[in-house]
Amino acid sequence: MGSKLLHNFFTRTYTRILDIKKCSGPIPFYQQFSKAVINYEKMQPYQLKPSPAEMQAPIIPNTTPTQQQQRGGPAYEVYVMGHSIKDGNQEGFQGQLGACPYSLRVLLLLEERELPYVVKFINLDNKPSWLLKVNPPTGSVPVVKDLSSGAYIVDSDTINDYLEEKIAQDESITEDVKKQMLLGHMSDVAMPAADINGCFFDYLMTTPRGGGEREEERLKEQLQQLEDTVSNEKPYIGGKHPNAADFALAPRVYFAKVGCKEVKEGGGDVVEELFPNVKSWLHRMCGRKSWRNAASFDTESIIGDMKHKMEKVGKKKQEV
Ligand SMILES: N[C@@H](CCC(=O)N[C@@H](CS)C(=O)NCC(=O)O)C(=O)O
């Protein structure tokens, strides 16, 4: 037990040190340590500022302007994957959430906690240069900018743990309310089906001619882990209430379900057919207010994004 706590402490601290290093340039080691563990407020702002031309994306506040004003404006800028339109008679980029489970999980958490934020959509085919500098080498999203310090936080695990820590340290929130709000750090919660995204995409990339049985089996094994974890008696991974793992996983399972049904050649709705507990759990998660506010995509756009990613990955494989 003691060694697990120690392990969690060091893993978390180390991840954040790496993260803060990325954001703020060279800082003496002891300062990184104290900043990482003790005070997020004092994190150094990242030096780069996106140029106005790089900020073409539309801004959609999760709260009305009046509500934001009452709270002193948005506290976070959230950079998420936008939807690229490739089908039909339109082509280009649109301000709509793309099929990125990592982007969605961050939005869900902000919505659950009613934290004021603004969304900015990133076209992954045309990433702004500042993003590549903030989150090298791939410039992946989501990325969050904490407007109180100017710090950029990258990677959805780190972002959600960061927001968790913010709540834990917020003195204006009573301990009772905190208990209801806190979801646990990712390193503290057990997450079934942790590899579902990779397994799903491997399966998606197989063709009927190229087999795919092994990939399908691996995807089903992942779903089985979740099937064995949740039930009517235990509606969420966290028990009676969702925890950090529920929010990390729900977008991944949702996209896998839609992808198997709508995109996979010869596929079907594997969740609907084989995993009733997963189906009910997903239904609960998708019914939350946070999901309805954040998940601003439709099935067509998910299909479009997945096919586009398959094309990109296929091309890369050919190049190798
Ligand atoms: N470990 C990262 C993964 C994020 C990720 O893979 N994001 C994808 C979109 S879903 C991305 O930005 N990929 C870069 C690209 O496609 O160029 C996280 O949890 O935030």
The reply to whether 152 and 50 lie within a common domain is yes
The model's pLDDT over 38-53, given as tens digits with 9 standing for 90+, comes to 233 333 333 334 445 4
The model's pLDDT over 231-273, given as tens digits with 9 standing for 90+, comes to 999 999 999 999 999 999 999 999 999 999 999 988 899 999 9
d(CA 16, CA 14): 5
Provide residues with CB under 6 Å of ligand 1: 81, 100, 102, 124, 138, 140-142, 155-157
Nearest-atom number in ligand 1 for the CA of 127 is 17
| CA 141 – ligand 1 centroid, Å | 5
Range of the domain at 22: 1-40
* Distance of alpha carbon 154 from the chain centroid: 10
The reply to whether 211 and 177 lie within a common domain is no
Into how many domains does the chain fold?
A: 3
The reply to whether 223 and 207 lie within a common domain is yes
Residue 189 resides in a domain: no
pTM, 2 dp: 0.80
Q: Which letter does DSSP use for residue 230 in this model? A: -
d(CA 23, CA 75): 18
Query: Which residues are within 8 A (CB) of 271 and not within 5 positions of it... i.e. 6 or more apart?
Result: 223, 253, 256, 257, 260, 278, 279, 282
Residue 190 resides in a domain: no
| CA 142 – ligand 1 centroid, Å | 7
The reply to whether 97 and 116 lie within a common domain is yes
Nearest-atom number in ligand 1 for the CA of 81 is 9
- What crossing angle do the helices spanning 29-37 and 2-24 adopt, rounded to 10°? 110
| CA 236 – ligand 1 centroid, Å | 26
- What is the pLDDT tens value at each position of the chain, 320 positions in all? 455 555 555 444 444 433 433 433 343 333 333 333 323 333 333 333 444 544 444 444 455 555 555 567 788 999 999 987 765 566 677 778 999 999 999 999 999 988 888 889 999 998 999 999 999 999 999 999 999 999 999 999 999 999 999 989 988 888 988 888 899 999 999 999 999 999 999 999 998 776 789 999 999 999 999 999 999 999 999 999 999 999 999 999 999 999 999 999 888 999 999 999 999 999 999 999 899 889 988 898 999 999 999 999 988 877 76
CA-nearest residue for atom 16, ligand 1, is: 124
CATH number of the domain enclosing 139: 3.40.30.10
Tokens of 95: 């301000």
Helical (H) or strand (E) element with 117? strand 117-122
CATH number of the domain enclosing 280: 1.20.1050.10
| CA 157 – ligand 1 centroid, Å | 12
